[in-house]
């Protein structure tokens, strides 16, 4: 069914359209992620188990020309350690190299260690403008701020002969990388405030209440099953962004290859270790095995200079948006959501 107000509110609150069958316009169908089957995932208890699973996963793709999105973090670094020498690796270089330079330097060390061919993917606002509309057309919805740059890397890799891209999207979810999400046992209202990316009431004239989704996970005494929420909601929102970017780029094999999403913990996450500062403790140990001479990097999200992009943006002007949005209180990522939503509406109402 068509429910533009619901779709706008869902995108702002969760960065995706939460209900299947709800669309912005007639003739559109929004797409989501393509999860790896649970019954095929390999159980792991320690870094040695993960190393074995990664090795076998890459062996299963020995006849496919792989490339990898290589950041300065530990997740993609660990995947890179199991790829054959000469593999093409792609690292984002933003704004002429003046953004996230430490990330680039670490990626270079990883590539040199395992003899990968490192390529830089230059990202600036022109890349966003060029890739945004095709991404939104493919998704049938506004997109995440990482999608234009992932698509750019995929296009560059495709031109280099890469048939399928490797990305470590699932590592945070599997191994406890969401240290802020896992930092405590949340009360219901606290979690709602924390997880809502942009409250639709702040931005839209006709917002739709999104609290129903949180209510599914309410527990007695005003608690919430935030772990299940992460598995059910966050996991799909994140993976869908990678899927859409690679599919839109037209890679030979899609959506993408992620050995970290092909395993699952044999035992519950040790929240005490995570909360004491040891997020992704198994991947930390794997990194030490693969790079004993390099300090373990702290977790950082995929960089994108949205604060710089939207520093002077005055906000959306379409009639669906409120005129009194205080742009000074919004983060760069929240401004991206407003910008992208407005562009999506413009694109479909030409």
The first and second tokens of residue 163, run together, are: 């048939």
Residue 37 lies in a domain: yes
**CATH number of residue 63's parent domain:** 3.40.50
Residue 165 CA to residue 206 CA, distance in Å, equals 40
Domain span holding position 218: 30-305
Q: Per residue in 182-198, pLDDT tens?
A: 999 999 999 999 999 99
**CA-CA distance, 324 to 8, in Å (whole number)?**
18
Q: What pLDDT is recorded for position 226? A: 96
Joined together, the tokens standing for residue 315 give: 């906000």
What's the distance, Cα to Cα, between the start and end of the chain in Å? 21
Question: Which residues face 257 on adjacent strands?
Answer: 166
Please check whether residue 192 lies inside any domain of the structure: yes
Which two three-digit tokens encode residue 234? 């966050």
For residue 23, being part of any structural domain is answered with no
Residue 338 lies in a domain: no
**DSSP element (H, E) containing 119:** strand 117-123
* Residue 346 forms part of a structural domain: no
Tokens, residue 335: 């401004």
Closest CA to 304 of 124, 118, 162: 124
Phi, psi of 254 (to 5 degrees): -130, 165
Token duo for residue 198 = 């942009």
Do the domain assignments include residue 221?
yes
321 lies in some domain: no
Task: Report pLDDT digits (tens) over 202-239.
Answer: 999 999 999 999 999 999 999 999 999 999 998 878 78
- The total number of structural domains in the chain stands at 1
CA-nearest of 46, 53, 55 to 267 is 46
| Nearest to 65, CA basis, from 154, 163, 158, 165 | 163
* pLDDT average, residue stretch 104-123: 94
Question: Does 179 have pLDDT greater than 90?
Answer: no
Share of the chain above pLDDT 90, in %: 85
Neighbours of 233 (CB within 10 A): 20
Q: Per the omega criterion (within 30 degrees of 0), is the bond before 255 cis?
A: yes
Structure-derived torsion over alpha carbons of residues 118, 46, 171, 109, reported in degrees to the nearest 10: -20
Domain-located, residue 11:
no
DSSP state at residue 99:
B
Does 344 have pLDDT greater than 90? yes
Average pLDDT over residues 167-173: 93
């Amino acid at each position: 069914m068509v429910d533009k107000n619901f779709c706008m509110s869902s995108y702002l609150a969760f960065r995706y359209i939460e209900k299947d069958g709800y669309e912005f316009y007639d003739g559109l169908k929004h797409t989501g992620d393509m999860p790896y089957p649970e019954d095929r995932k390999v159980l792991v208890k320690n870094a040695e188990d993960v190393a074995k699973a990664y090795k076998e996963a890459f062996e299963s793709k020995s006849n496919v020309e792989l490339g990898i999105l290589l950041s300065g973090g530990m997740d993609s670094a660990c995947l890179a350690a199991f790829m054959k020498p000469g593999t093409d690796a792609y690292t984002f270089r933003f704004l002429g190299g003046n953004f996230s330079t430490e990330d680039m330097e670490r990626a270079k060390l990883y590539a040199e260690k395992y003899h990968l061919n490192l390529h830089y993917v230059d990202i600036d606002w022109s890349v966003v403008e060029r890739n945004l509309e095709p991404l939104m057309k493919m998704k049938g919805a506004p997109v995440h701020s990482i999608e234009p740059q992932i698509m750019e890397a995929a296009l560059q890799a495709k031109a280099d002969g890469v048939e399928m891209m490797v990305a470590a999207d699932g590592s945070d979810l599997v191994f406890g990388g969401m240290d802020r999400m896992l930092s405590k046992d949340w009360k219901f209202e606290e979690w709602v405030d924390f997880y809502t990316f942009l409250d639709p009431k702040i931005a839209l004239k006709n917002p739709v209440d999104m609290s129903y989704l949180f209510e599914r996970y309410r527990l007695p005494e005003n608690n919430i099953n935030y772990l299940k929420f992460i598995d059910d909601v966050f996991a799909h929102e994140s993976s869908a962004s990678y899927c859409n970017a690679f599919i839109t780029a037209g890679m030979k094999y899609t959506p993408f290859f992620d050995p970290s999403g092909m395993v699952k913990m044999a035992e519950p996450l040790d929240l005490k270790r995570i909360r004491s500062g040891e997020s992704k403790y198994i991947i930390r140990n794997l990194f030490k095995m693969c790079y004993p001479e390099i300090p373990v990097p702290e977790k950082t999200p995929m960089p994108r200079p949205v604060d710089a992009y939207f520093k002077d943006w005055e906000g959306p002007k379409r009639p669906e948006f409120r005129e009194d949005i205080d742009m000074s209180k919004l983060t760069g990522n929240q401004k991206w959501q407003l910008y992208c939503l407005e562009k999506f509406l413009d694109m479909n109402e030409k």
